[in-house]
Structures are given as C-alpha cells and as structure tokens.
Structure 1
Amino acid sequence: MHNQILGSQGEQAAAEFLQQHGYVICARNFRVPVGEIDIIAKAGEVLAFVEVKTRHGSRYGTPAQAVNYHKQQKIIQTAKWYLRQNHLEDRCFCRFDVLEVYALPGNKWQVRHLPGAFES
C-alpha cells in the first residue's frame, strides 16, 4: 500500500476512533505556512491537537517515536496559529496527543491513543 494512501486511511481510522470516544472533530488537516495538524478535536473543555502516525508494524520503532522534537515544535507553532485564527488564546485547555495507527490484515486498524504525548 502506498504511504500516502496508508496515511490517509490511518487518519480516517483515527478520526473515527476519536469520535467513538466522545471527541468532536473541529478540523482535519489544518494547514498554515508553519505546518499542519492532522486532527483538532474537542472533548469536554479540552482541545486536542492530534498527530496521527500510521504504520504496518513497529519494525523501525513505534509510530510515536517519529514525532521528534522538530515535528513537535512545528505542531506547537501550528496550534498557536489555529488558536489565534479562532480567537481561542487563553480560552481553553489545550493538549498535544499522538495517535498510533497500525494497519492490520483484512483492512482492520489498531489505534493507540497517547493523550498529552508532549507539551508546549
């Protein structure tokens, strides 16, 4: 499976997982000049900026390990942009999550949610 297709399907599986767990999806693939955030979702008073990493396995490390310091900084800057655009600065509790999505045989998905995976 091509990586772009795998990533897109993984993001869809992640969004469905979040919705099944009570999150409301506010935005998907939010892009600005400084970067992109895969999913922005709200659960209660928490606004979660979610990075989705999809893999076939953990042969080369876990998906979350791919969210290195540089990637975290881009996500944080993009989140600040989102908050400014939506006039939400200092108006909500924000969190940075990672969703590890594993593609399994038979077009099935295993999702591991890491709430608060990193901080700004």
Structure 2
Amino acid sequence: MNQQIGKKAEDCAERYLIAQGLTTLARNVCCKYGEIDIIMQQGATVVFVEVRARKHKRFQTAAGTINYHKQQRLIRTASIVIQRMPALQDRPIRFDVVAYDTSSKNRQAQWIQQAFDASN
C-alpha cells in the first residue's frame, strides 16, 4: 500500500515539475546508500528530487520528515549518481523536495526548491 502511494506521489510530482519547466533525466536511481526518486534538469542545473507523501501529519508534515540523516544519505547517493553519469559532472546541483500531505483536502504539491545543500 505504501509503495502504491509513493509511486503515485512520484508520478504526480514529476508531472507537476514538468509543468513548471523541468525535464526528467531519470527516476528511482539506486545505489548502496539509497535512492533518488527523480533526477531532473532546470536549465543547466541538475535537480535531485525527494518526494514525500504522508497520510497523517499528527507529528510532522511530509516535508518535515527529511531530517539531517536522510539529507546525508541523499547527498551520498547523488555523489555516486554523478560519478556514474559523466554528463552530470561539473554542473550545478540542487536538492528539492516535493511533499504531499494526503490527509489534507487541498492535496497540492509543496515544492521546496534548494531544500538543503551538500555544503553542510
């Protein structure tokens, strides 16, 4: 069930970002550190997108679940992806989050650009 919700959220996020002018480069890219949900491009910038969906926000919102540990895993994963994909090297990167709080009646995407960076 959670995988279906996650896949649907990723599909919605991808469509939303494409409508905002981004181009999809890859989806669900895995390595030993983790997975990047969507890799997109906006101009020359490579955008690593983490998609989050939460049914209940009793304790925190979907966007609030991207803690420091998760950020570090995403940064390490992105580093491996860049090494594997030479076309991405020497380009600016950023980490975005697209979050959906599915318990809300207004289920619009919350797009957080430059949600965190690799310099921390």
TM over 0.5: yes
Alignment of 1:1-120 (within 5 A): 2-87=1-86, 88-89=88-89, 91-103=90-102, 109-120=107-118
Instruction: Report if aligned partners of 2:54, 2:103 keep a CA contact under 8 Å in 1.
Output: no
C-alpha displacement of 1:105:
8.1
CA shift at 1:40, angstroms?
0.5
Question: How far apart are the structure 1 equivalents of 2:108 and 2:57?
Answer: 12
Aligned in 2, Cα 1:57/1:20: closer, same or farther, shift over 3 Å? farther
For structure 2, the 5+ residue unaligned runs are none
- Structure 1 CA distance, aligned partners of 2:101 and 2:28? 20
Deviations 1:67-100 (A, max 9, x none): 11111111001111111111133x2110011111
Task: Determine the C-alpha separation between the residues in 2 that align with 1:16 and 1:81.
Answer: 26
Q: CA RMSD in A?
A: 1.8
Using the aligned pairs only, state the percent identity.
36
**Per the alignment, do residues 65 and 104 of structure 1 end up closer, same or farther by CA in structure 2, a change over 3 Å counting?**
closer
C-alpha contact (below 8 Å) 2:57/2:103 kept by paired residues: no
2:113 maps to amino acid:
P
In the alignment, the residues of structure 1 paired with residue 103 and residue 71 of structure 2 have an alpha-carbon distance, to the nearest angstrom, of 27
1:13·1:109 contact (CA, 8 Å) conserved in 2? no
Gaps of 5+ in 1: none
Task: Judge conservation of contact 1:49–1:96 (CA < 8 Å) in 2.
Answer: yes
